[in-house]
């Protein structure tokens, strides 16, 4: 790579892998064309993140990057992909490309914030102008916090009251051809192409499942159009009435596209409003729009809370003396707990990278306050590795909620790993798909195979303790003990808060 003598404008794609609703990128285009600078859209593949990501998530990311590159080429530019951390790569690129202007989006992940601060310092020394836009959410979370006097709204309803009169701007689209003068001399260099999956991972790909949800803006908009055309379905959608164990998803599965930035949350908001306009429809929190607002709620909480993804040092999180049991954690993560419904969910997560939100409720409660008494932070790490729609703020917020550490405090309401799944799938079709060892079990025993007589186990071809594990805990007994532990933890936290209050 030879040093460039032409000044450059760089747009750093991160969680905005799209051309629609990308004001930061349009700012970069305008700056490059007005000043006759080279335009360089870049993306950095962090090797550390690749090493911990599940293969499904990595595949989704690469598909999204390839689609982004394809769409960029349609408007006469391209994506430059680099392997490494932005904080390590950008300082050299600043000098090599004679960068004068850098645009990107605002993020709240502490690792990213720390990286941004380091890059800003370097850019300032080199007299590089930086523009960052809030474009991963419907609302500017910092503006919402200011509206609440700098405090985090601790309830969903409080959040809704804060944003009810905020007007959401219309979505912009970038489709105009970019001037040839903005092309770099290395435009056709293959070194910057989006890598293939097998170029990044060395492990066996034979277990890679069928790609159910291809990544990219093109697929995101196609999926959005498909669901928004089902106006009656959208208007009648109620979160509690969707099925966590249907073989085909009973929700939109737009979350991976939102989390990677292939779909703008603002566009989703406007399309939902269009469908609801003039029609009778369900309301937040159970409506589809309500689901989008949960995302906004957690982003606002994450932006305003130090150590949001940890228990210690997190002012909104109840301090609970969770236990440590590596064997139980591993059994949960690999789907071998002996509870078929829990195991089916965790295996679907590992195989496909996505599980229904109510299924997430089930396994999160099981890991934490329900059965295993293991910290929600451990569960959050597993979800980070495997979820296609992993999102820093939503992951931490949901885990705190489901472990009754914050936002939700009815810790005595515990999901049953037996009864909950039966409500929507009494014959266990979901279990038979993801826990095939049990596929020949009678429906009577599919959720509780340990209750089947030995003769039935043998006939079904799977003896418990041999072909499928015994239960690692007894739910009926352990969840009652854990409720008592939670009660004690709440009592201790209440006493601590009382001691910290200033005396009058």
296 a known binding residue?
yes
User: Coil, strand, or helix at residue 9?
Assistant: strand
384 a known binding residue?
no
Say if CB 79 and CB 42 are below 8 A apart.
yes
252 a known binding residue?
yes
What is the C-alpha separation between 300 and 143, in angstroms, rounded? 9
Chain position carrying tokens 């040092």: 313
Q: Which residues pair with 345 in a beta bridge?
A: none
- Residue 160, Cβ neighbours under 10 Å: how many? 16
Per-residue buried b or exposed e for 81-97, using 16+ beta carbons within 10 Å of the residue's own CB: bbeebbbeebbebbeeb
Dihedral angle over CA of 182, 183, 184, 185, nearest 10:
-130
What is the C-alpha separation between 499 and 479, in angstroms, rounded? 30
| Helix or strand holding residue 130 (H, E) | strand 129-133
69 a known binding residue?
no
Among 153, 26, 150, 14, residue whose Cα is nearest residue 87? 14
| Helix or strand holding residue 161 (H, E) | helix 156-163
Chain position carrying tokens 């009810």: 164
What is the C-alpha separation between 284 and 459, in angstroms, rounded? 48
User: Coil, strand, or helix at residue 19?
Assistant: coil
| Helix or strand holding residue 132 (H, E) | strand 129-133
Phi, psi at residue 36, to the nearest 5°?
Answer: 60, 40
295 a known binding residue?
yes
What is the C-alpha separation between 343 and 332, in angstroms, rounded? 7
What is the C-alpha separation between 494 and 489, in angstroms, rounded? 9
- Residue 472, Cβ neighbours under 10 Å: how many? 18
User: Coil, strand, or helix at residue 468?
Assistant: strand
21 a known binding residue?
no
What is the C-alpha separation between 452 and 460, in angstroms, rounded? 10
Q: Per-residue DSSP letters for 44-105?
A: EE-HHHHHHS-HHHHHHHHHHHHHHHHHHHHTT---EEEES-HHHHHHHHHHHTTEEEEEEE
67 a known binding residue?
no
391 a known binding residue?
yes
292 a known binding residue?
yes
390 a known binding residue?
yes
298 a known binding residue?
yes
Say if CB 72 and CB 78 are below 8 A apart.
yes
Burial of residue 156, with CB atoms counted within 10 A of its CB: 0-12 exposed, 13-18 middle, 19 or more buried = middle
What is the C-alpha separation between 195 and 50, in angstroms, rounded? 12
Binding site residues, as ranges?
Answer: 251-255, 291-298, 389-391
Binding site residues for FAD, as ranges?
Answer: 251-255, 291-298, 389-391
């Amino acid at each position: 790579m030879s040093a460039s003598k032409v000044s450059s404008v760089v747009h750093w794609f991160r969680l905005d892998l799209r051309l629609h609703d990308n004001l930061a990128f349009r700012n970069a285009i305008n700056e490059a064309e007005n000043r006759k600078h080279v335009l360089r859209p870049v993306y950095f593949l962090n090797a550390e993140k690749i090493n911990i990501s599940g293969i499904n998530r990595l595949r989704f990311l690469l598909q999204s990057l390839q689609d982004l590159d394809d769409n960029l080429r349609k408007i006469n530019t391209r994506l430059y992909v680099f392997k490494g951390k932005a904080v390590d790569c950008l300082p050299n690129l600043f000098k090599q490309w004679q960068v004068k202007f850098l645009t990107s989006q605002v993020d709240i992940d502490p690792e990213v914030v720390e990286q941004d601060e380091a890059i800003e310092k370097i850019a300032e020394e080199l007299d590089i102008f930086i523009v960052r836009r809030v474009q991963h959410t419907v609302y500017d979370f910092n503006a919402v916090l200011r509206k609440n006097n700098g405090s985090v709204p601790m309830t969903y309803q409080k959040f809704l009251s804060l944003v009810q009169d905020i007007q959401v701007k219309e979505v912009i689209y970038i489709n105009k051809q970019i001037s040839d003068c903005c092309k770099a001399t290395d435009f056709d260099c293959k070194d910057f192409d989006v890598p293939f999956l097998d170029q990044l991972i060395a492990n066996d790909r034979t277990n890679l499942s069928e790609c159910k949800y291809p990544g990219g803006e093109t697929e995101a908009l196609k999926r959005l159009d498909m669901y928004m055309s089902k106006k009656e379905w959208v208007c009648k959608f109620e979160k509690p009435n969707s099925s966590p164990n249907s073989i085909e998803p009973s929700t939109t599965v737009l979350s991976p596209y939102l989390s990677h930035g292939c779909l703008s949350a603002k566009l989703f908001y406007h399309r939902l409003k269009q469908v609801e306009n003039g029609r009778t429809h369900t309301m937040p929190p159970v409506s589809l729009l309500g689901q989008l607002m949960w995302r906004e709620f957690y982003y606002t909480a994450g932006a305003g809370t130090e150590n949001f993804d940890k228990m210690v040092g997190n002012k909104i999180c109840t301090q609970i003396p969770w236990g440590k049991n590596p064997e139980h954690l591993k059994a949960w993560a690999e789907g071998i707990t002996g509870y078929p419904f829990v195991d089916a969910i965790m295996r679907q997560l590992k195989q496909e990278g996505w599980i229904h939100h109510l299924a997430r409720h089930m396994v999160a409660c099981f890991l934490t306050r329900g059965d295993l008494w293991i910290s929600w932070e451990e569960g959050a790490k597993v979800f980070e590795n495997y979820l296609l729609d992993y999102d820093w703020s939503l992951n931490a917020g949901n885990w705190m909620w489901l472990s009754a550490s914050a936002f939700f405090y009815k810790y005595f309401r515990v999901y049953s790993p037996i009864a909950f799944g039966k409500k929507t799938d009494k014959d266990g079709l979901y279990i038979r798909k993801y826990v095939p060892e049990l596929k020949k079990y009678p429906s009577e025993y599919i959720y509780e195979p340990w209750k089947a007589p030995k003769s039935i186990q043998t006939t079904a071809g799977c003896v418990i303790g041999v072909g499928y594990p015994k239960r690692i805990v007894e739910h009926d007994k352990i969840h009652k003990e854990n409720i008592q532990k939670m009660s004690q933890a709440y009592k201790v936290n209440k006493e601590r808060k009382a001691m910290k209050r200033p005396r009058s």
